[in-house]
Amino acid sequence: MNGRVNSHRRGLTVTTPAFEELCDLFAYTPKGQPLTSEEVAELLRVHVSTVHAYRFRGEGPRFFSPPGTRRVWYAERDVLAWLASGAKRSTSETVAA
């Protein structure tokens, strides 16, 4: 997906960087395929149980679980965009929800 994506949250327009910009921001080399929970945990530098907890609580990046399977996959762009969504300039600043 090229270009930026605009979304509206609480009356504000939020611009999500293009995938290439997200890759540059996090020094990430795209794999070009969906990521497993283990790969997401490695990217985020957390334990895989933390990724499972994020998913269970609905706090993590969007995921895909095809009907009839117990498998879970993540789009690279979604994981990087979720990570970027927590950007702040100060510890006293709240993240836009």
What pLDDT does residue 47 have? 98
Query: Using one digit for the tens of pLDDT, what is the confidence trace for 77-96?
Result: 999 999 999 888 898 877 66
Beta-bridge partner residues of 35: 74
For the chain, the residue count is 97
What six digits make up the tokens of 62? 């969007």
Phi first, then psi, for residue 52 (nearest 5°) are -60, -40
In this structure, which amino acid lies at residue 90? S
41-75 pLDDT, tens digit each: 999 999 999 999 999 999 999 999 999 999 999 99
pLDDT of 94: 77
- Percent over 70 (pLDDT), the chain: 82
- Domain boundaries defined on the chain: 33-85
Angstrom distance (rounded) from CA 34 to CA 72: 9
pTM of the model: 0.79
Give CA–CA dist 81/27, Å, rounded.
13
